[in-house]
Amino acid sequence: MTQRALVLGGGGITGIAWEWGMLTGLAEAGVDLGTADLVIGTSAGSVVGAQVAAGVEPAVRYRAQLEPPDGELAAALDRGLLLRFALAMVGLPSPRRFRARIGRIALRAHTEASEADRIAVIESRLPVREWPERRLLITAVDAVSGRFRAFDRHDGVPLVHAVAASCAVPGVWPPVTIDGHRYLDGGVRSGSNADLATGADRVVVLAPLPRGIGPMTPVGKQVAALREHAQVALVSPDRAALAAIGRNVLDPAARAAAARAGYTQARSAVDGIRAVWA
C-alpha cells in the first residue's frame, strides 16, 4: 500500500511558481514532500511533479522562478474561449461528454504554437527527461473520446510528451499526440485529480485552482472522500498569494511574485502539513 502521496494540481505558469515556493518553504521548515511514495501531477503540477519525483531540489527550481521571463510568451483564456467552454456545459452533459466537447474546441483551435513547438518548449523547461523510479502519475484527457488517462512509466510514453499533454490548455496550446490519440490538459477532468491518491495513508494536496466548474470535480469533494480512509492536508493559495498570482495564471510576468507568495505561505501551512506527513 502506498503510504504517502503528494498531489500537485494545475494552475498555469503561476501555479508552477507557487508550488515551487511552497515546496521550498516547507523543506526549509523540515517537511520534505519529495519523500512521497506516489506523486500525482496535473497540468502545472505535472511539470513540478516530474521533477520532484526525480529528486530535483525545490530550492533550485524556486530560484529559477525568480528570474526575469525574458522571451517567454504570455497567453490567456480570452472571452470567446471562455464562452465556448460555458456552452460545452449546456444540457448538463456527463463528465466524459463534457470533456469530449472541450476536446473538440481544442482540436479546432488555431493556437500560436504548433504541437512540435509546444513539446520543445516543455522539454526546454523540464530538466529531467526519463521517468523516475518513484511512482509518478501524469494526468491527461483524450480530446476525442473524453477518456481520462493517468500515464506512468510503464506505458512507454516519453515523459516530456506526457507532461506536454497534461499542460495542453484547450484552445491555448495544441493537444499532444500519443500513440495515435490527441491528449489535452488533465485539469479538464479535475484541477488536481486528488482521487488518484486513494489507497494512500497520508496525502498532501497543493491545489493552485481548487474550484471545479460544471462537470469538473472540485478538489474539496475529492479530499472529503480521501479523508474517510486517510489523513489529508489540502493547501491552496491564500489571500496574499491570490493577489500575487493575479487574474491571468498564464502570464510569466506574475511568476516571481507567485513563487515568493508560495514560499511565504509555507510558514503558515507547515504545521498542518507536518501533522499529516510526519
Q: Which of 207, 184, 213, 209 is nearest to 194 (CA)?
A: 207
Beta bridge partners of 136: 39
| Burial of 239: CB neighbours in 10 Å, binned 0-12, 13-18, 19+ | exposed
Query: Which cell numbers hold the place of 137?
Result: 502519475
Q: Are 233 and 275 in contact (CB under 8 A)?
A: yes
Q: Give per-residue burial for 137-174: e unless 16+ CB within 10 Å, then b.
A: bbbbbbbeebbbbbbebeeebbbbbbbbbbbbbbbbbb
Answer whether 46's CB lies under 8 Å from 162's CB.
Answer: yes
87 CB-contact burial (10 Å; exposed 0-12 / middle 13-18 / buried 19+) = exposed
Residue 179 designated active-site: no
Q: Which of 185, 190, 192, 251 is catalytic?
A: 185
Q: What are phi and psi of 236, to 5 degrees?
A: -125, 165
Neighbours of 98 (CB within 10 A): 23
Contacts of 88 by beta carbon, 8 Å cutoff, 6+ apart: 98, 101, 102, 105, 214
Give backbone dihedrals phi and psi of 242, rounded to 5 degrees, phi first. -60, -40
The helix (run of H) or strand (run of E) holding residue 264 is helix 255-277
Q: Residues 43, 166, 190, 236: which is the catalytic one?
A: 43
Is 238 among the catalytic positions? no
The residues annotated with a catalytic role in the active site are 43, 185
